[in-house]
Structure 1
Amino acid sequence: MHMVATPNRKMQRVLQFSMGLTLAYVVATFVFGIRAHSLALISEAGHNVSDLLAIILSFVAVYFQARPATEEKTFGYQRAGVLAAFVNAIMLVVLSVWIAIAAIHRLDVPVAVQPKLMMYVAAAGVLMNGTVATLLWRFSGDVNIRSVFLHMLGDTLSTAAVIAGGAAILFTGMTWIDPALSIIIAAMILWSSIGIVRETLNILLEGTPRNLQLAAVRNAMESVEGVVNVHDLHIWSLGSHSRALASHVTIPEMPMSECSSILEAINCALRERFHIHHTTIQFETRGCETTHGCSAPPQLEAVGAHDHHHGHSHSH
């Protein structure tokens, strides 16, 4: 438990610090955005409000993830962070659409902006967002923290764009640059959010983890000596790091003592090659055509059935 707690405490401290900085910057960008009549700055404030919510959600998720499993929550709260990242990303998609609509309206009805004020506030923003992004980068292996890190990285880049836009308006006097920047910022937010929506949705829908091929796992299991075939194979993510596997494994009839060495070899292969630590493996000596209770993915049914009929003629 202590091994989990220490990185978690560090993560919580980083998130608390990030919350304070972001809140101060949200207030500043909104107030100065109104004073400078800059939609790019106001959209930055909006972007940062979503960041603030993202950090708060992640903070709550990190707190929950550290809690142990209970009888009601047998896997603990490993998905809390994934759920937080999903909610975050959905909010960002909505925000990016709102910014784009406001910017298109602003292109139609131009407003004079104060470029110098835009640049000063944006410069402070680059500093703030860059600091938070750097702090979070160390923990970005976690999808929950990565969703916040991507927010912050996107913010750093979009705030730098606001500085460039301010300079361009100052030298050319073209006010359309401000809403045009807002549209680019909105596109960036949308692009990073959709990636997180897809990744978190895959985990929440019990999808096979990214970067993992079901066929490769099956081959590794079937290459263990004594395994006739592997079917009813399911792999899913508990959280952004932990993976679980459940499978039926057909083996020849043998004494119990020999079964345990096959099981150990399978688990060893799964741990070392695929980082799967949580496994439920059911041994069978006959194919599943005699026992009902298989739920193999549809495209594997044909392969499974073929293997079952010829199961005993196989020798590995």
Structure 2
Amino acid sequence: MHMVATPNRKMQRVLQASMVLTFAYVVATFVFGLRAHSLALISEAGHNLSDLFAILLSFVAVYFQSRPATDQKTFGYQRAGVLAAFVNAVTLVVLSAWIAIEAIHRLAAPVQVQPRLMMYVAAAGVLMNGTIALLLWRFSGDVNIRSVFLHMLGDTLSTAAVIIGGAAILFTGMVWIDPVLSIIIALMILWSSISIIRETLNILLEGTPRSVQLIAVREAMQSVSGVIDVHDLHVWSLGSHSHALASHVTIDERPMSECADILNGLNKTLHDRFHITHTTIQFETTGCETTHGCSSPPELEAVGAHDHHHHHGHSHSH
């Protein structure tokens, strides 16, 4: 137990430090963005705010993952981070739209910016985002942390773009560069937000995980020795990296003691190939067509086998 807790605590410390640094930089970019009249810097504050939320979500996820399930929350708190990510992403879509509208106004009525101040603040941002990305990189084996690492890496690049923009304004005097940069940053925020919305909605609507093909799961289960047919198959996500499965499995008649081997084989295949950790499998045997709760053997069924199975799966309670 102690072995698991230590990397978790280290991860939480890194995430806490990242949150403090990012929050300080959000305030700095916003205040100096107003001072320098730079919409690109203000957009950068918005972009960094998205990073702050991403780090906060990872922190919450790391915390909640260690909390046990209860009688009220039988799956634990795995969806809390998903729900927060969805709300966060919707907020960011609104933010990116506001930045784009402001930028269009700026293009129509140019405002004089202070490129030197833009460059100084952005340079501090590159340093900070780069440092956080480096700290997180050590833990990037954890997929939750890897998503934040990529977020910070993208932010380091967009902040570097503000420095280049500041230099271009300084040498050419073309102030339209600033709103154009902010539109590019707004598009980056929008692009990352929409992918988060799609992913979280799929989880909240109990969709099949994007990394899992239902046909492949069915074939893998049917390849286990003793399994004749798999139907009423459902796969869904509990959290962003935790998958569950429920299914009816037809097996040939055999002593009860041998059924455990089939179940172990199914669970091992599902865990090793698809990272499915929570399974509910109901066995049905051939030669019991008349018994309620069993499906007729596949060889006795007509063309509409799938329809029959699917209907059967929902026609009785278990």
**Smaller-chain TM-score bracket:** 0.7 to 0.9
**Aligned-pair distance for 1:281?**
0.8
Q: Kindly tell me: are residues 288 and 158 of structure 1, through their superposed partners in 2, closer, same or farther at Cα, counting changes over 3 Å? A: farther
* Structural mapping, 1:56-95, within 5 Å: 56-95=56-95
Q: Kindly tell me: are residues 201 and 144 of structure 1, through their superposed partners in 2, closer, same or farther at Cα, counting changes over 3 Å? A: farther
Three-state SS of the structure 1 residue aligned to 2:112 is coil
* Structural mapping, 1:78-227, within 5 Å: 78-140=78-140, 144-227=144-227
CA RMSD of aligned residues (A): 2.5
* Structural mapping, 1:239-254, within 5 Å: 239-254=239-254
94-103 vs 135-144, which moves further: 135-144
Q: Kindly tell me: are residues 216 and 246 of structure 1, through their superposed partners in 2, closer, same or farther at Cα, counting changes over 3 Å? A: same
250-259 vs 102-111, which moves further: 250-259
Letter in 2 for 1:154: G
Give the whole-Å Cα distance in 2 for the aligned partners of 1:245 and 1:223: 17
**Aligned-pair distance for 1:79?**
1.9
How many corresponding residue pairs? 302
The answer to whether the 8 Å contact 1:41/1:118 transfers is: yes
The answer to whether the 8 Å contact 1:75/1:238 transfers is: yes
Q: Corresponding residue for 2:32?
A: 32
Give the whole-Å Cα distance in 1 for the aligned partners of 2:103 and 2:290: 62
Give the whole-Å Cα distance in 1 for the aligned partners of 2:251 and 2:290: 15
The answer to whether the 8 Å contact 1:235/1:245 transfers is: yes
TM-score by length of structure 1 reads 0.87
Give the whole-Å Cα distance in 2 for the aligned partners of 1:272 and 1:92: 36
Letter in 2 for 1:43: S
Q: Which digits, 9 at most, give the CA deviation of each residue in 1:39-75, with x for residues without a partner? A: 1111112222333333334323332222111111111
Q: Corresponding residue for 1:47?
A: 47
1:257 and 2:257 are equivalent in the alignment: yes
The answer to whether the 8 Å contact 1:61/1:84 transfers is: no
Q: Corresponding residue for 2:232?
A: 232
Which consecutive residues of structure 2, in runs of 5 or more, have no partner in the other structure? Answer: 296-302, 311-318
Q: Kindly tell me: are residues 142 and 105 of structure 1, through their superposed partners in 2, closer, same or farther at Cα, counting changes over 3 Å? A: farther
Q: Corresponding residue for 2:281?
A: 281
The answer to whether the 8 Å contact 1:58/1:85 transfers is: no
**Aligned-pair distance for 1:88?**
2.2
Three-state SS of the structure 2 residue aligned to 1:161 is helix
Q: Kindly tell me: are residues 198 and 30 of structure 1, through their superposed partners in 2, closer, same or farther at Cα, counting changes over 3 Å? A: same
Moved over 3 A (4+): 1-4, 137-151, 286-294, 305-308
Give the whole-Å Cα distance in 2 for the aligned partners of 1:207 and 1:263: 25
Q: Kindly tell me: are residues 22 and 288 of structure 1, through their superposed partners in 2, closer, same or farther at Cα, counting changes over 3 Å? A: farther
Give the whole-Å Cα distance in 2 for the aligned partners of 1:146 and 1:87: 20
Q: Kindly tell me: are residues 106 and 98 of structure 1, through their superposed partners in 2, closer, same or farther at Cα, counting changes over 3 Å? A: same
Letter in 2 for 1:46: G
Letter in 2 for 1:304: H
The answer to whether the 8 Å contact 1:65/1:81 transfers is: no
Letter in 2 for 1:12: Q
**Aligned-pair distance for 1:128?**
0.7
Give the whole-Å Cα distance in 2 for the aligned partners of 1:289 and 1:78: 41
Q: Which digits, 9 at most, give the CA deviation of each residue in 1:75-124, with x for residues without a partner? A: 11122222232222222211111111110111011011111111111010
The answer to whether the 8 Å contact 1:65/1:80 transfers is: no
The answer to whether the 8 Å contact 2:232/2:309 transfers is: no
43-52 vs 232-241, which moves further: 43-52
Letter in 2 for 1:262: I
Letter in 1 for 2:306: G
166-175 vs 136-145, which moves further: 136-145
Q: Which digits, 9 at most, give the CA deviation of each residue in 1:141-171, with x for residues without a partner? A: 6665455434323321211110010011111
Give the whole-Å Cα distance in 2 for the aligned partners of 1:28 and 1:288: 72
Q: Kindly tell me: are residues 3 and 238 of structure 1, through their superposed partners in 2, closer, same or farther at Cα, counting changes over 3 Å? A: farther
Give the whole-Å Cα distance in 2 for the aligned partners of 1:288 and 1:103: 69
**Aligned-pair distance for 1:188?**
0.8
Three-state SS of the structure 1 residue aligned to 2:46 is helix
Q: Which digits, 9 at most, give the CA deviation of each residue in 1:265-304, with x for residues without a partner? A: 222221222222221110012588964699xxxxxx9452
Q: Kindly tell me: are residues 141 and 239 of structure 1, through their superposed partners in 2, closer, same or farther at Cα, counting changes over 3 Å? A: farther
Q: Kindly tell me: are residues 103 and 201 of structure 1, through their superposed partners in 2, closer, same or farther at Cα, counting changes over 3 Å? A: same
Q: Corresponding residue for 1:5?
A: 5
Q: Kindly tell me: are residues 272 and 288 of structure 1, through their superposed partners in 2, closer, same or farther at Cα, counting changes over 3 Å? A: farther
